[in-house]
Amino acid sequence: MQIRVLGPVDIRRDDRVVPVVGEKQRTLLALFVLRANRIVPHEDLLTALWGDRQPPTGRRALHNHLWSLRRALGDDAEISTSAGGYALVLPAHASDLALFRSEVASAGEHRLRGDVAETAERLRVALALWRGPALAGTRLEFQSAEGHRLEDQRIAALAERIDADLALGRHADLIGEVRHLVDADPLNERFREQLMLALYRDGRRAEALEQYRLARTCLRDELGLEPGEPLNRLHQAVLAADPALRLVQGAPSPGRTPEQPPERLVPRQLPADIARFTGRRESLDVLDELLDASPDMGTLVLSALVGAGGVGKTALATHWGHRRADHFPDGQLYVNLHGYSRSTPVDPAAALHQLLLGLGVPQDEIPYDPEERAAMYRSLICDRRMLVLLDNAASAEQVRPLLPGASASRTLITSRDSLRALAATHDVGVHFLDVLSPEEAVALLRALLGDEQDHDRDTIGELALLCGRLPLALRLAAAHVRGREAGAARDLVARLRAGDRLTALDISEDPHIGVRATFGLSYQALPESARSVFRSLGLHPGPDLSMDALTTMVGLDREAAREAVDILVRAHLVHRDARQRLTVHDLIREYARELALAQDGHRPALTRLLDWHAHTARAAMAFVDPTSALLHPSVPPPPGGVRRFDERDEAMAWLSAEHRNTVALILLAAHDGWPVHAWQLAYITAYHFHLMGYVDDWIATHRAALRAVRQLGDRNGEAKVLTTLGHALLPTDQYDEFLECQRRAVELAVLSGDRATQAEALFYVAYGLYRTRELPAALDTCTQAFALYRENGDHAGEIAVTDLLGKIYVRLGDMPGALTHLNVSLEWLRRRGRRYDEAYTLMEMGTAHAGLGNLDEALRCHREALRISRDIGNREGEAEALRRAGGVEARQGRFADALRAQEEGLVLARQLPGRLLECRALNSLGGTCHALGDHEAAVRHHSGALEIAEKIKDPYEMAAARDGLERSRPPR
């Protein structure tokens, strides 16, 4: 039997098709295939069958459809039942979708091995499984949503197959097929590239160039965009008859080698170019002078565009960056510093984090210390020629840490501030941007309005004047007129003359008023439902929001909210990205917020949003951290319910997408009168901050949450926040403050009678004492924590204490006692599959065995820990296991192996944030070099370790470094 969904949904059994009768049964079967061997919750099944209009008897009807579907499937497949829902248990390749994905995966493996012919064949087999539009015969709304995702997978496989056929020299045979694809989807630039290449290789160069012209015309007419870089690059290569375009049998097509990424990332972070950019000739010339500068000794070259909000600073900078992209072969970096917006201005450390990510630095290799981030940034950019656009800067102080050092790159800053303070310390060319000239303003309006109507010259001139010649106002006015009946421009001019609020357009000193008035024109044209949604958008504190969040804020059903958003998108007041998330320009958001505060107030909508976010975050964290006794928010659940999650990856994706909103909401709640939401949302999401390494945000939100919970006088809540705030401080090596947080948490837990939090905080106190080498006190505190965990029936807590006791006994030199405890911990961890913790316990056991002289067993433990750490991608564990394994090999006299392992561990440690692992690695290398008799190298390593240990105040490594130096330095 095979279930088929890549076309009409049916079942094929014994070479005959068994139709599935009924739209709802076909929809059920398709949903089960899409989520094969996974539980599908009842609510998802009901939604698939009926959408938002589920009948009262929906569950009973669902059972009837399931019974019928079981009969159709017979004994070939099982629909299992659980408390959470149902699952279709399918063998491998029992559906055409599974076969399709298997063949595509196989093609990928052949591509990596360089077998282009087999790559093409496997993709051809995969594509042959499609019999028409996917999920045909299912409920229309379901087919539209899910079928589009499958169609995207088909198109991607088809494009890969065409690339493989091009590499095999089949260009002549492909021209007809790819031309048909281009005709069906003229905006698909990849198909257009493939057609151009096939035509060029077939000796039809003129036709290839004509395809580029057609692509450019289509993109500009439909989207107001220029072709992307790959298509432009191919166009230039065809013009130049580049020999690289010639066929090399079996070679991949130009520009399509994802399996062989470039050695150096070339970021292209500039926002999209502005459609129909007009004027600013003088300003563009000023910026061009940046390119002509020839600084001595690579001195920094930077310029700033300053002016009022809405005057077009970002548009000019972005347009110039795209226009001169060829002068920056190493790419462009872009950061919106949010200096003038409702969002909190971006901290320089956070901006450096974003810049380093743009330069290709992995998340876990970015230092926590801001000065170290700045040093890394300057080092990485020093030999590159890049454009760095620092947009919407608040002040010189915010900008200074983000400037490269001596660099061939160019830095461009936009700000409403004059940046005079920056000019006092740097040679910065400040260019003031004023409103457009009358001629430029009219030209921009004409370009935006097009030729669809014959707009008379006087009307357009007066409209430009009434808009204050402000680019943003001009664009909004054009959007208001474009597509309307004849005479719309004259009607708009008449309304502008008549409205009291528009008199501000005549005040050139304050262009903000003009922006507000122009926004008012678009707002007044909206129906009331869209106005209400628009006002709510102004209250949201984060950078974007989902439809779920918006629906909760406005209190409308989803369909009504979607209709309102569609109106706002058409009016150019809101942008909706490919993920259906909504963003609003900063100035428009300010205007919407003013309206909301004047007409609606702000607390009801924000309270609904905070309730929804807290409960949804809790639902997501239940998948991310299933073994924890997670806090249930004490705030009311939202009337419309919260988003449901089916698996951990889905929950993690939501938490990551909402991370910046979570931070913004915690800070808003803490500062504006929602203290319960502030501390509970911070506490609930702390483990996600930990997993993702968002240490800066973790500390900032928890400090705000701590202030909020103290305002409430909630001792129990304060204790909880203190425990997680202490955790946030550990990666930054702040042990003293970590201990202070945990000790205060213990005191508060005792006062509030919360024995569970008391036990947890005591355990963390014990850990802090262990890290600061107060071992007798750590043992005593472990005893107290263990007793409380046992009293509470918390076996996981008992094991955590047992494991810590094993580590303490290792430090005390009681190796038999250490192994007794660590063996208990190891057995429990293995039963529960907690491999991360298992690796560290194995390392401690290895150290204990080495202390007893059992060197072979010690090395086995460390190598097993190394294998686990590599399996799960734990680079910190890998660095530590290498260091310890090298120490054992040195004791066995295998010094070459020891040095190799320890040096590899040091390289890894230096790539990770924090300094403790690097410090340990240096001390271990120092010990090995001393044993080899290389005392100079030993002193160098121990000196480096001592410098770090004193900075992070680690007593163990300070002692180890001093002992090593004492041994290795020659006697005086």
Measured CA to CA, the distance from residue 322 to residue 365 in angstroms comes to 30
| Cβ proximity of 897 and 889 under 8 Å | yes
- Identify the architecture of domain 266-348+383-427 in CATH: 3-Layer(aba) Sandwich (3.40)
Q: Does the structure show a pLDDT above 80 at 723?
A: yes
Contact status, residue 39 vs residue 639, Cβ threshold 8 Å: no
Looking at every residue in the chain, the average pLDDT score rounds to: 85
Q: Which of 504-508, 512-516, 853-857, 899-903 has the lowest mean pLDDT?
A: 504-508
Domain residue ranges of the chain, discontinuous segments joined by +: 1-168, 266-348+383-427, 442-524, 913-972
Give the residue-averaged pLDDT of 462-471. Answer: 79
Both structure tokens of 381:
């950019």
Task: Report yes or no: 437 and 474 within 8 Å, Cβ to Cβ.
Answer: no
pLDDT tens-place string over residues 861-893: 999 999 998 887 788 899 999 999 999 999 999
Residue 912 has pLDDT above 50, yes or no: yes
Confidence class for position 459, pLDDT limits 50, 70, 90: confident
Q: Model confidence over 808-817: pLDDT tens digits?
A: 999 999 999 9
pLDDT in the model for residue 545? 92
pLDDT of res. 507 = 34
Contact 94, 110 (CB under 8 A): no
Burial class (CB in 10 A: 0-12, 13-18, 19+), 480: buried
Q: Is it the case that residue 297 has pLDDT exceeding 50?
A: no
Residue holding tokens 């203190």? 722
Residues 858-896 as b/e (b if ≥16 CB within 10 A, e otherwise) read bbbbbbbbbebbeeeebbbbbbbbbbbbbbbbbbeeebe
Q: What is the pLDDT of residues 81-100, one digit of tens each?
A: 876 788 888 887 889 999 99
Spatial CA neighbour of 441 closest among 410, 486, 477: 477
pLDDT of residue 906: 92
pLDDT-based confidence at 515, cuts 50/70/90?
low
pLDDT at residue 299 in the model: 56
Q: Residues near 627 by Cβ (< 8 Å), separated by ≥ 6?
A: 796, 832
CA atoms within 13 A on the CB side of 972: 1
What number of CA atoms fall less than 13 Å from residue 422's CA on the CB side?
26
Q: Which residue is it, tokens 């959007």?
A: 479
Among 581-595, 829-843, 951-965, which stretch is predicted with the lowest mean pLDDT?
A: 581-595
Angle of CA points 725, 623, 621, to nearest 5°: 30
Q: Out of 310-324, 351-365, 439-453, 784-798, which region has the weakest mean confidence (pLDDT)? A: 439-453
Neighbour-count burial of 250, counting CB atoms closer than 10 A to its CB (0-12 exposed, 13-18 middle, 19+ buried): middle
Residues 6 or more apart whose CB falls under 8 angstroms from that of 304 comprise 412, 413, 414, 415, 419, 422, 428, 429, 430, 431
Contacting residues for 542 by C-beta, under 8 A, at least 6 apart = 343, 660, 661, 663, 664, 665
pLDDT at 54 over 90: no
Residue of 146, 17, 35 whose CA lies nearest to 89: 35
C-alpha span between 726 and 748 (Å, rounded): 15
Kindly compute the dihedral angle of the four CA atoms of residues 842, 847, 851, 855, in this order, to the nearest 10 degrees: 70
Residue by residue, DSSP assigns 100-152 as: HHHHHHHHHHHHHTT-HHHHHHHHHHHHHT--SSTTBTS-HHHHHHHHHHHHH
Structure tokens at 181: 């694809």
Burial of 621 (C-beta count, 10 Å sphere; 0-12/13-18/19+): buried
Share of the chain above pLDDT 90, in %: 38
Alpha-helix runs per DSSP H in 224-308: 229-239, 281-292
Question: Can you tell me the distance from the alpha carbon of 915 to that of 732, in angstroms, rounded to the nearest whole number?
Answer: 9
Asked if 560 and 529 count as a contact pair (C-beta separation under 8 A), the reply is yes
Tell me the β-bridge partners of 333: 388
Q: Cβ-count burial of 321 within 10 angstroms (0-12 exposed, 13-18 middle, 19+ buried)?
A: buried
pLDDT at 617: 95
Give, to the nearest 10 degrees, the angle between helix 42-50 and helix 23-34: 140
**Rounded CA gap, 619 and 16, in Å?**
45
Closest CA to 666 of 620, 700, 693: 700
Place of tokens 């760095």: 388
| Top-tier CATH class for 1-168 | mainly alpha
Residue 826 has pLDDT above 50, yes or no: yes
Which is it for the CA torsion 935, 937, 938, 939, positive or negative?
positive
pLDDT at 684: 94
CA pair distance 615, 608, nearest whole angstrom? 11
- pLDDT at residue 503 above 80? no
Query: Strand 78-82 and strand 85-89: pairing?
Result: antiparallel
pLDDT at 648 over 90: no
Give the highest mean pLDDT range of 29-33, 442-446, 950-954.
29-33
Neighbours of 518 (CB within 10 A): 28
d(CA 601, CA 424): 44
Please determine, for residue 506, whether its predicted confidence score (pLDDT) is greater than 50.
no
The first and second tokens of residue 856, run together, are 């072979």
> What stretches of 402-500 show up as alpha helix (H) in DSSP?
420-425, 438-449, 457-466, 471-481, 488-498
Residue 788 buriedness (CB in 10 A; 0-12 / 13-18 / 19+): buried
- The 10s digit of each residue's pLDDT in 357-376 is 888 887 767 777 788 888 88
Q: How far is residue 916 from each of residues 401, 792, 950, measured CA to CA in Å?
A: 25, 35, 11
Degrees to nearest 5, angle at CA 235 with 230 and 236: 100
Flag whether pLDDT at 258 surpasses 50.
no
Contact 838, 861 (CB under 8 A): no
Structure tokens at 87: 């699952």
Q: What is the pLDDT of residues 527-573, one digit of tens each?
A: 888 999 999 998 999 989 999 999 999 988 889 999 999 888 877 77
Structure confidence at residue 259 (pLDDT): 39
Question: Which position has the higher pLDDT, 75 or 105?
Answer: 105
- Please give the pLDDT value at position 586: 67
- The residue among 574, 637, 649 whose CA lies nearest residue 611 is 637
Tokens representing 494?
A: 């008449």
Cβ pair 107, 122 in contact under 8 A: yes
Give the model's pLDDT for residue 486: 66
The interaxial angle of helices 558-570 and 528-539, nearest 10 deg, is 90
Grade residue 496 by pLDDT with cuts at 50, 70 and 90. Answer: low
What is the DSSP track for 488-503? HHHHHHHHHHH-GGGG
